[in-house]
Protein backbone atom coordinates (compact mmCIF):
# COMPACT_ATOMS: atom_id res chain seq x y z
CA UNK A 1 0.00 0.00 0.00
CA UNK A 2 2.54 2.60 -1.01
CA UNK A 3 1.44 6.19 -0.57
CA UNK A 4 3.16 8.14 -3.34
CA UNK A 5 3.64 11.89 -3.61
CA UNK A 6 5.27 13.53 -6.61
CA UNK A 7 6.35 17.13 -6.06
CA UNK A 8 7.43 19.52 -8.78
CA UNK A 9 6.97 23.03 -10.12
CA UNK A 10 3.78 23.93 -11.99
CA UNK A 11 3.65 23.80 -15.75
CA UNK A 12 3.25 20.17 -16.75
CA UNK A 13 0.36 19.00 -18.88
CA UNK A 14 -2.36 16.71 -17.49
CA UNK A 15 -1.10 13.98 -19.83
CA UNK A 16 2.47 14.33 -18.57
CA UNK A 17 1.31 14.16 -14.95
CA UNK A 18 -0.65 10.98 -15.67
CA UNK A 19 2.37 9.48 -17.40
CA UNK A 20 4.55 10.29 -14.38
CA UNK A 21 2.15 8.55 -12.01
CA UNK A 22 1.90 5.54 -14.32
CA UNK A 23 5.70 5.31 -14.51
CA UNK A 24 6.11 5.33 -10.73
CA UNK A 25 3.29 2.83 -10.24
CA UNK A 26 4.70 0.45 -12.88
CA UNK A 27 8.06 0.66 -11.11
CA UNK A 28 6.47 -0.25 -7.78
CA UNK A 29 4.60 -3.18 -9.31
CA UNK A 30 7.80 -4.55 -10.82
CA UNK A 31 10.30 -3.87 -8.02
CA UNK A 32 8.11 -4.29 -4.92
CA UNK A 33 5.64 -6.73 -6.47
CA UNK A 34 2.61 -4.78 -5.25
CA UNK A 35 -0.79 -5.57 -6.78
CA UNK A 36 -1.58 -3.54 -9.89
CA UNK A 37 -4.78 -2.26 -8.27
CA UNK A 38 -2.88 -0.76 -5.32
CA UNK A 39 -2.90 2.90 -6.41
CA UNK A 40 -2.44 5.67 -3.84
CA UNK A 41 -0.78 8.60 -5.58
CA UNK A 42 -0.97 12.36 -5.48
CA UNK A 43 0.79 15.26 -7.12
CA UNK A 44 1.91 18.40 -5.38
CA UNK A 45 2.34 21.01 -8.06
CA UNK A 46 3.92 24.15 -6.67
CA UNK A 47 4.48 27.69 -7.87
CA UNK A 48 8.21 28.40 -8.30
CA UNK A 49 8.19 30.80 -5.36
CA UNK A 50 6.96 27.94 -3.15
CA UNK A 51 9.45 25.33 -4.31
CA UNK A 52 13.11 26.24 -4.18
CA UNK A 53 15.36 23.82 -6.00
CA UNK A 54 19.14 23.38 -6.14
CA UNK A 55 20.87 25.63 -8.68
CA UNK A 56 22.33 22.51 -10.31
CA UNK A 57 18.85 21.18 -11.20
CA UNK A 58 16.53 22.00 -14.07
CA UNK A 59 12.93 23.23 -13.97
CA UNK A 60 11.86 19.58 -14.27
CA UNK A 61 13.32 18.71 -10.85
CA UNK A 62 11.02 16.09 -9.33
CA UNK A 63 10.81 14.62 -5.83
CA UNK A 64 9.20 11.20 -5.47
CA UNK A 65 8.29 10.35 -1.87
CA UNK A 66 6.81 7.01 -0.93
CA UNK A 67 5.52 5.84 2.42
CA UNK A 68 5.67 2.04 2.28
CA UNK A 69 5.29 -0.98 4.51
CA UNK A 70 8.74 -1.99 5.83
CA UNK A 71 10.38 -5.23 4.74
CA UNK A 72 11.74 -4.69 1.23
CA UNK A 73 15.34 -5.72 0.62
CA UNK A 74 18.04 -3.28 -0.41
CA UNK A 75 18.10 -5.03 -3.80
CA UNK A 76 14.37 -4.38 -4.30
CA UNK A 77 14.88 -0.72 -3.35
CA UNK A 78 17.80 -0.32 -5.74
CA UNK A 79 15.71 -1.87 -8.50
CA UNK A 80 12.85 0.53 -7.70
CA UNK A 81 15.12 3.59 -7.84
CA UNK A 82 16.60 2.55 -11.20
CA UNK A 83 13.21 1.75 -12.71
CA UNK A 84 11.80 5.11 -11.64
CA UNK A 85 14.68 7.21 -13.00
CA UNK A 86 14.72 5.20 -16.25
CA UNK A 87 10.97 5.61 -16.77
CA UNK A 88 11.02 9.31 -15.88
CA UNK A 89 13.98 9.87 -18.19
CA UNK A 90 11.85 8.45 -21.01
CA UNK A 91 9.34 11.20 -20.13
CA UNK A 92 11.95 13.95 -20.47
CA UNK A 93 13.20 14.24 -16.89
CA UNK A 94 16.93 13.76 -16.53
CA UNK A 95 18.10 11.22 -13.94
CA UNK A 96 19.94 13.93 -12.02
CA UNK A 97 16.64 15.82 -11.64
CA UNK A 98 14.95 12.99 -9.72
CA UNK A 99 15.17 12.47 -5.97
CA UNK A 100 13.44 9.47 -4.41
CA UNK A 101 12.76 9.11 -0.68
CA UNK A 102 11.23 6.09 1.04
CA UNK A 103 9.55 6.35 4.42
CA UNK A 104 8.96 3.02 6.18
CA UNK A 105 6.81 3.37 9.31
CA UNK A 106 6.27 0.16 11.28
CA UNK A 107 3.10 -1.78 10.49
CA UNK A 108 1.74 -0.78 13.92
CA UNK A 109 1.68 2.80 12.61
CA UNK A 110 -0.71 2.08 9.73
CA UNK A 111 -4.47 2.05 10.34
CA UNK A 112 -5.98 -0.07 7.54
CA UNK A 113 -9.09 -2.11 6.76
CA UNK A 114 -11.38 -0.04 8.92
CA UNK A 115 -8.84 1.29 11.40
CA UNK A 116 -6.99 -1.88 12.36
CA UNK A 117 -3.18 -1.80 12.73
CA UNK A 118 -1.62 -3.32 9.60
CA UNK A 119 0.42 -5.58 11.87
CA UNK A 120 -2.83 -7.35 12.84
CA UNK A 121 -4.35 -8.02 9.42
CA UNK A 122 -3.55 -9.98 6.29
CA UNK A 123 -2.46 -7.18 3.97
CA UNK A 124 -2.86 -9.42 0.93
CA UNK A 125 0.67 -9.36 -0.53
CA UNK A 126 4.31 -9.98 0.38
CA UNK A 127 6.54 -7.18 1.54
CA UNK A 128 9.69 -9.25 1.97
CA UNK A 129 10.86 -9.00 -1.64
Q: What is the DSSP string of the chain?
A: --EEEEEEES---HHHHHHHHHHHHHHHHHHH---TT---EEEEEE-GGG----TTS-TT-EEEEEE--S---HHHHHHHHHHHHHHHHTTT--GGGEEEEEE---GGG-EETTTEEGGGS--SS----
Structural domains of the chain ordered from first start? 3-120 (3.30.429.10)
Q: Give every CB contact of residue 122 below 8 A, 6+ residues apart in sequence.
A: none
- Residue pLDDT, tens place only, 74-118: 999 999 999 999 999 999 999 999 999 999 999 999 998 888 888
What's the pLDDT score for residue 94?
A: 97
- Residue pLDDT, tens place only, 22-57: 999 999 999 999 999 999 999 999 999 999 999 999
Helices 74-89 and 14-32, packing angle to 10 deg: 150
User: Does this model's pTM top 0.75?
Assistant: yes
Contact 66, 100 (CB under 8 A): yes
Neighbouring C-beta atoms of residue 37, cutoff 10 Å = 6
Amino acid sequence: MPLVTLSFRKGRTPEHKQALMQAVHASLVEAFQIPTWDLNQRIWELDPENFQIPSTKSEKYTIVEMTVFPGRSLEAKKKLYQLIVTKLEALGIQRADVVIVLHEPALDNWGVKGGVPASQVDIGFKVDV
